[in-house]
């Protein structure tokens, strides 16, 4: 823990925006360094221009690879492209438009020449492909739309990010990203300057570049996925903090369009994020699930002596608004797992238009409280590896009512049971907290306390342990029989998983379960560590024991 975690950023913590932007154009990647190649993780390619990992060359090559990929798949409809407020997002967005215009791709950009949240891009793709119509979403055939979002999500201000969403509207699966990344790196090696481009001024005025009102389309449609009437009639006082991200104009529009008692707590945008408080490691990071990054909003929710809190519900979003943070007067910043469990219980008892067999989707490192809630509801639980892409098919056809990740990302169906977004929607989940309060008269924190009374209290944490690249590779390839242990923290081991039970996909690591606890170990994609997620329903001391023995179990498996 950094000594200044949770305290306001100081001048020495801020990036030099001009330096970061200049490096984007001036530096070229060294292709013999894997860290400077194009690599698509669970949410696209990310890196910093200062490290030679996110530069003009990367975006030219990756955009050209996307052009080739969409042609190979017969995708010939419009491409919706949005960006967030990171310093590198606009330069990368401009570069991509230059390549797309030269390739004759019809690109739909924001009509306000402003920022676009990730869920608004997913929403636009799905609507263009038929969502909300009797024919449903078209994922095959001519005229299909897709999209690009230029964002590194909650990453620090020095970083940039670039992700592709196919016609299903969600994050691209590895069958697409592996092809795109391999081709992009091939272009980088063979000469990225040979890719056709047109000057930005011409690209912006090209016949193929169209204006799209992402904001109005998304904001107006919210009434079909949330009970906004209940929020308005109950007079719920909402404080929304976009954390300087792409949702800043959306929140004001939501309040005005739907006549809600909504205040945008911080309408400021600044690519240095000088108004942020430092995260746990002393970095500026727009992680709305972190109590340190959310310290200023938590402070704003403090009631004065003898008074009441200024808001009934306060919310935060990360830079591209695909994550949510919920702050209540009685409970402070909610643990993401706690809120997911509350949201699931509420939605599956207040959405009669959903299919009776609609399932609950969770990642395998999310809280087992969700398992207990699902069992209490009599609903099927689908447990998948880390990555929102695994929820896309179920959200598309309505067979999954809710899909959520422990990192505070989720989405769910419209009230009629049809698809809303197939990417994470932090705005949606933030507004749901107000609906829950309006309809039940109880805050999400209070409802979580009810869940604890019925299902038990859990202690949940994630820690890192050192690992070499070879050890990380071995961890990702473990088999269940590589685990020799029969007990974990005093309980018999009931499961050893290297594949997700919900879809049989490899989890890239290991999960071990007992009656009252579990741990999962996964290699980090960016650091020489592996991550241990653990949970116990027997208290924090038992959790610490689980964490300690988890490292021993993994180390023994790696040594075997």
Domain assignment present for 87: yes
For the chain, the residue count is 560
The total domain count for the chain is 2
Domain assignment present for 429: no
pTM (global) more than 0.85? yes
Domain boundaries, position 176? 15-216
Identify the pLDDT of residue 373: 98
Helix residue ranges, H only, 307-359: 336-347
Domain assignment present for 517: yes
CA distance 399 to 356: 9
The tens place of each residue's pLDDT in the chain, 560 residues long, gives 899 999 999 999 999 999 999 999 999 999 999 999 999 977 789 999 999 999 999 999 999 999 999 999 999 999 999 999 999 999 999 999 999 999 999 999 999 999 999 999 999 999 999 997 777 888 888 999 999 999 999 999 999 999 999 999 999 999 999 999 999 999 999 999 999 999 999 999 999 999 999 999 999 999 999 999 999 999 999 999 999 999 999 999 999 999 999 999 999 999 999 999 999 999 999 999 999 999 999 999 988 877 889 999 999 999 999 999 999 999 899 999 999 999 999 999 999 999 999 999 999 999 999 999 999 999 999 999 999 999 999 999 999 999 999 999 999 999 999 999 999 999 999 999 999 999 999 999 999 999 999 999 999 998 888 888 888 899 988 899 888 899 999 999 999 999 999 999 999 999 999 999 999 999 877 677 889 999 999 999 999 999 999 999 888 888 87
Identify the pLDDT of residue 303: 80
Helix residue ranges, H only, 409-526: 426-440, 444-455, 469-476
Q: Are 450 and 338 in contact (CB under 8 A)?
A: no
Domain assignment present for 471: yes
Of 216, 250, 279, at which residue does a domain stop?
Answer: 216
366 is catalytic: no
Q: Are 371 and 381 in contact (CB under 8 A)?
A: yes
Query: Can you say whether the dihedral through the CA atoms of 25, 26, 30, 36 is positive or negative?
Result: negative
Of 196, 216, 236, at which residue does a domain stop?
Answer: 216
Domain assignment present for 117: yes
Q: Are strands 491-492 and 381-384 parallel, antiparallel or unpaired?
A: unpaired
Identify the pLDDT of residue 139: 81
Domain assignment present for 310: no
CATH number, domain of 68, equals 3.40.120.10
CATH number, domain of 530, equals 3.30.310.50
- Report residue 414 as tokens: 């419209």
Of 216, 241, 265, at which residue does a domain stop?
Answer: 216
293-298 contacts, C-beta under 8 A, 24 or more apart? 293/243, 294/241, 294/325, 294/327, 294/333, 295/6, 295/7, 296/8, 296/241, 296/266, 297/239, 297/241, 297/265, 297/325, 297/327, 297/333, 298/327, 298/332, 298/333
Residues facing 327 on adjacent strands: 314, 333
Domain assignment present for 30: yes
Catalytic residue among 43, 153, 321, 434: 153
Domain assignment present for 353: no
Identify the pLDDT of residue 558: 85
Q: Are 121 and 167 in contact (CB under 8 A)?
A: no
Sole residue written with tokens 């390839």: 477
Distance, CA of 155 to chain centre? 11
CA distance 510 to 411: 26
CA distance 264 to 268: 10
Identify the pLDDT of residue 529: 82
Query: Can you say whether the dihedral through the CA atoms of 250, 256, 259, 260 is positive or negative?
Result: positive
Q: Are 514 and 492 in contact (CB under 8 A)?
A: yes
Give one DSSP letter per residue of 189-223, joined into a string.
HH-GGGS----HHHHHHSTTEEEE-HHHHHHHHGG
């Amino acid at each position: 823990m950094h000594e200044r975690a949770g305290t306001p950023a100081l001048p020495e913590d801020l990036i030099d925006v001009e330096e970061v932007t200049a490096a984007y154009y001036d530096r070229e990647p060294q292709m013999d360094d894997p860290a400077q190649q194009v690599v698509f993780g669970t949410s696209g390619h990310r890196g910093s221009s200062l490290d030679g990992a996110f530069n003009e060359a990367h975006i030219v090559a990756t955009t050209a690879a996307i052009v080739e990929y969409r042609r190979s798949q017969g995708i010939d409809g419009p491409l919706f492209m949005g960006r967030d407020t990171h310093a590198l997002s606009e330069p990368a967005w401009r570069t991509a438009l230059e390549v797309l215009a030269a390739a004759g791709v019809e690109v739909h950009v924001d009509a306000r020449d402003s920022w676009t949240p990730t869920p608004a891009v997913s929403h636009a793709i799905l609507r263009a492909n038929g969502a909300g119509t009797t024919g449903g979403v078209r994922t095959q055939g001519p005229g299909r739309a897709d999209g690009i979002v230029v964002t590194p999500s909650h990453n620090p201000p020095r970083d940039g990010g670039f992700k592709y969403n196919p016609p299903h509207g969600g994050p691209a699966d590895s069958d697409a990203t592996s092809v795109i990344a391999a081709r992009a790196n091939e272009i980088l090696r063979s000469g990225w300057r040979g890719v056709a481009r047109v000057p930005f001024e011409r690209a912006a005025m090209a016949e193929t570049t169209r204006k799209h009102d992402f904001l109005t389309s998304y904001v107006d449609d919210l009434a079909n996925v949330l009970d906004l009437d209940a929020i308005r009639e109950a007079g719920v006082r909402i404080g929304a903090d976009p954390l300087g991200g792409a949702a800043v104009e959306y929140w004001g529009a939501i309040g005005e369009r739907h006549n809600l008692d909504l205040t945008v707590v911080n309408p400021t945008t600044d690519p240095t994020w000088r108004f942020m408080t430092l995260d746990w490691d002393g970095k500026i990071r727009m992680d709305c699930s972190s109590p340190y990054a959310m310290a200023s909003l938590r402070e704003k929710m403090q009631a004065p002596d003898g008074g009441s809190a200024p808001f009934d519900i306060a919310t935060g979003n990360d830079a591209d608004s695909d994550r949510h943070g919920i702050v209540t007067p009685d409970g402070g910043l909610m643990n993401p797992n706690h809120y997911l469990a509350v949201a699931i219980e509420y939605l599956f008892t207040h959405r009669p238009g959903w299919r009776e067999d609609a399932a609950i989707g969770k990642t395998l490192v999310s809280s087992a409280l969700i398992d207990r809630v699902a069992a209490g509801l009599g609903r099927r639980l689908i447990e998948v590896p880390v990555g929102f892409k695994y929820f896309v098919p179920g959200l598309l056809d309505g067979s999954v009512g809710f899909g959520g990740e422990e990192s505070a990302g989720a989405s769910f169906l419209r009230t009629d049971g049809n698809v809303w977004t197939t990417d994470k929607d932090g705005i949606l989940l933030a507004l749901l907290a107000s609906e829950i309060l309006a309809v039940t008269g109880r805050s999400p924190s209070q409802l979580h306390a009810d869940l604890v009374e019925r299902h038990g209290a859990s202690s949940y944490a994630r820690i890192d342990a050192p690992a070499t690249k070879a050890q990380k590779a071995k961890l990702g390839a473990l088999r269940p029989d590589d685990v020799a242990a029969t007990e974990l923290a005093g309980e018999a081991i009931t499961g050893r998983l290297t594949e997700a039970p919900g879809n049989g996909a490899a989890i890239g690591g290991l999960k071990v379960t007992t009656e009252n606890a579990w741990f999962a170990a996964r290699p980090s994609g960016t650091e020489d560590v592996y991550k241990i997620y653990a949970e116990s329903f027997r208290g924090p001391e038992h959790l610490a024991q689980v964490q300690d023995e988890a490292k021993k179990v993994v180390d023994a498996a790696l040594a075997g």
